[in-house]
Every structure is written in structure tokens, then in C-alpha cells.
Amino acid sequence: MSNRTGIDILRDPFLNKGTTFTAKERDTLKLRGLLPPRVHSTEEQMGRVLSNLRGKATNLERYVFLNGLLGRNVDLFYRLALENIEEIMPLIYTPTVGKACQEYGSIFRRPNGLYISLEDAGHIEEILQNWPHKDVRVIVVTDGERILGLGDLGSNGMGIPVGKLSLYTACAGIHPSQTLPITIDVGTENPKLLADPLYLGLQQHRVRGEAYDALIAEFMKAAQKVFPNILIQFEDFANQNAFRLLEHYQDKACTFNDDIQGTASVALAGLYSALRVTGGKMEEQRLLFFGAGEAGTGIAELAVEAMVKDGVPEAKALARCWFIDSKGLVTKGRPGLAGHKLRFAVDHAPLSGNLEIVEALKPTAIIGVSGQPNTFTKEILKKMAEYNARPIVFALSNPTSQAECTAEQAYVETDGKAVFASGSPFDPVTFKGQTFVPGQGNNAYIFPGVGLGVVAVKSRRVNSTMFLTAAKTLAQLVSEEDLAKGRIYPSLKMIRKVSLAIAVAVAEVAYAQGLADEKRPADLSAFIQAKMYQP
């Protein structure tokens, strides 16, 4: 186990097993008397933890409780999460993590990752060396400016990389000691945080420009030096930084942006599954995106790439994707369009009302990535059912409070016709005697498996082909039984099987493109599966 004994073991969450230490272990490790006398099985331990968890009054209290468990007993936390994934995932990530980030200053107990601020410029390598685990393979980093659909939460956004990395472990078996959450603190524009005495970060306005870019550059260089073969995932950066940082670093480091590429992959997988219900081909669809930020344009870019690889001319593929932003339909004639929107601007008269745009376009699918709740109104949903025998309705904004519509609204207002998916979980809906099980387009179906494949074969880069392959792999794992229930994603109970399949597919891309530094094994699936941590 280690050369440590006694209380040092009980204080190390990677070594502590609590009351499951056997009598022999207690003698050998000098634990006798430091624990209550009875030896419990892991199953008994989990029963006690679940009872305590379910006894909490709110999901935020459950979040705090689970983070406390992670800080005491890593194996027990992940065993609990893996065996109760449908119950635990919404508590350690969306939707609960959004509330946790909003309250991070008041619920803070212990640091779960590394904080790098402007004050650390010139010393980032030293800070990374302070991390106790030296074989780190995956970093999730945020600057806290666009946390879910909640906006600028500054340093309180640490809950996001902590939550994402817990899913890397629970869903794909990346060993928890090989993960590192990082928040880069350059200030915040949130007035409540600037005035909050409990706020954990720098109480100053955000620094931008050269100083910001220099800090990111120093971090990227130091991370790759301190942790060779590292995969760096950008998370919840605002549009003004997310696109340009991805463009700048994707060919210089093993990195990706989950809000752009992970969301794109899981949404594309949902579209592939939905087409098994509605019929037709991707290039025949009219996709209307509510929201033209990272998620929306990321989905559209991957959908266009998929169509082009199927032989569709790029111009025709681009013409299948339409966007609504805060000013209405994204059109070519509008001055001052941001760079990521220009590619999808359409040659059309300006339209500003959402219903008016739906009536003009008659889309086959509406995809909500706006962070604006209740955008899919009763009138819009009814129009979708009028234009389509089976309208595709994706309300993907997180957390639940920001969803464009609820599952119940989608099914009721379309008279049960909608093929629905959401970003956060919704309970099953019974309508006219039929029970629909709404699919959750959770990025956890994608990024853990992609990360596992990249790490396992030591891929030097992550690229769009990997995310396209991941989408197709995920869609193939949706059964006819799932589709019959209205679910266009597999059950979360299958998440490790899903992650392994995606990891193998991504690893195949890495080998095919000459990106893998690991010698190819005879049995790639068995090789990757052997690397998956089992709590």
C-alpha cells in the first residue's frame, strides 16, 4: 500500500478504506484503536453512505456530502458513483454543480485542485510541481468566465473542472491520481462576487489582452513540461477566448475544448439516433440553432464535416445550418458579425422574432444552446409538430433552470411527436398512455471516452475526426429498445461500455493518422480496458 502507517493512512483519501480495513491490516498498518472495532464490508459502507446521502434535504447538501466523501475515501466515492451512476451523476455534475459554483465561497471545505492567478505569473511551473501526484494525464482548466449558462463565476468556477474530472474517472476509468483540476484566475466581472467577502478569488475586474495571453501561454508550456503526455481540456471559457485559444493551441498541444467539440459530438450522435426515428439523411435536414456561441457553432461545424465526408458539397452542408442569436437570424447582411458566426451567416432578409424565423424556415430540428430558458415556446413547439411528423427538439442548455423547454413541454405541445433530448436530466413523462424516457445529451457520453483513448495510446493531438468517430460510435450503441422509449442515448448504466467503445475508436484514429506514441497492442480493446481504474 505504502510505507506510511497509522493516522497518516486514514488522512490520505487514496489510502484510507475506513472501517473496511481487516484485523490483519489494522495490526500491520498500526490502525488498531484508530478505528471503531467492527470491520465492515464495502457493501455495508456503501449502504451507510447512501442512507446518509439520501437523507440530505437538498441536492447542494448532497453535493457537499459527496465531496467530503471524495476527500476521505477515493475508492468508496467512485465505487458508489459507478454503481449508482444515474443517481450520483446529477449530484456531482449538472445540474447540481451549477448551484455549487454559485455558492462555492460558502461551501468551500478543502482545495480540490490548483489555483493559478495573475499574481503567479512567472512561477506556474513551480505551482504545478506542488501538486502531489506526478503522473497526471488529464487536466481540465477553466478561467470561470462562462460557467454553464450562469455566466462569470470567476474562481468559483473550480466546481466545473473538479466535476468533469470525477466523470473522467467514474465513466472511463482514468485513475483519479492522474487527473488535475485547474482554475486560472484573472478576475471577474460579476458584481456580486466583487462585493462578496467570502469570494475565493481575486476581487478585481478581469485582465484581458497581452497579460491574459501570456499567462495562458506560460500555463500551457509549463503543463506540458511538468506532465509529459498530458491532455488539456479547456472548459467554460467565454466565446471571445474559447475559439481563439482552441485555434491557437490545437496544433501545438494535445488539447480540446469540450464546450465546442464535446458538445458537438454528443449532439451529432443524438441527431444520428433521431434520424433512425424520423427517417431521412443528415443532408436533408434543416437545423435551426437557438444560440450561436461555442456549443451551437461547434455542433454545426461537426455536422458539416460529417456531411462533407459523406460526399455532400460543403456549400450545401453549410446551407443546412441556420442560427438565431440575441439579434435574430444570423444573416450575411448584418454588420459586425463575430468570426465564428460568419461561416454560417445566410443570405436572407433580417428576421428577429423566434417564432417568425421558425415559420420562415420550417426546420426539421431545433437545437437549443442559448442558455436562455423557455425559448422553445408553446407556439414554436406546436409549429414544429405541424411541419414535421416527428420533430427533433434538443433543449441542451445547462443547468436545468436554463433549458429551452422541459421534456413535458416538448411532448405535450407536440402531441407526443417530439424526438427530444436535453442537456440536464428530466424524469420520464407519461402522455396519452405512453411513457417517454427523455434522452440526456450529456457530454459525459463523449469526453471521458475520448480522453481514455487519447491517454491510453499517448496520442499527441486531439482532432475533429476523433469527435466525429466518437459521435458515430455512440449512436451505434443506442438500441431499438432505447428508441422505442423515446431515448436517443444509451442508458447511463452502460457508460463504461460506451466509454471503452469510444476510446477504442479514437485510438484507432490516432494510429491511422500517425499520432499515437504507444506501440500498437495486439488487442487494442483489451489493452485499453486493462488501464481502466476499478474502484
Joined grid coordinates for residue 519: 506501440
Contact by Cβ (8 Å): 434, 414: no
Cis peptide before 95 (omega within 30 of 0): yes
Angle between helix axes 59-70 and 42-54 (nearest 10 degrees) is: 150
Q: 331 - beta bridge partners?
A: 346
Looking at 35-193, which runs of residues are DSSP E strands?
114-117, 138-142, 179-185
Look up 164 and say whether it is catalytic.
yes
Contact by Cβ (8 Å): 437, 430: no
Q: What is the SS3 string spanning 26-41? A: HHHCCCCCCCCCCCCC
Look up 56 and say whether it is catalytic.
no
Name the active-site residue from 17, 63, 78, 93. 93
Contact by Cβ (8 Å): 112, 202: no
> From CA 214, how far away is CA 211, in angstroms rounded?
5
Q: 439 - beta bridge partners?
A: 421
SS3 181: strand
Contact by Cβ (8 Å): 299, 267: yes
SS3 169: helix
* DSSP string of 288-310, one letter each residue: EEE--SHHHHHHHHHHHHHHHHT
Ranges of H-type helices in 285-431: 294-309, 314-318, 339-342, 354-361, 378-387, 407-413
The amino acid present at 268, given as its one-letter code, is L
Mention every residue, 6+ apart, whose C-beta is less than 8 A from residue 213: none
Angle between helix axes 294-309 and 263-278 (nearest 10 degrees) is: 60
Name the active-site residue from 63, 78, 99, 164. 164
Contact by Cβ (8 Å): 412, 431: yes
Radius of gyration of the chain (CA): 23
Catalytically active residues, by annotation? 93, 164
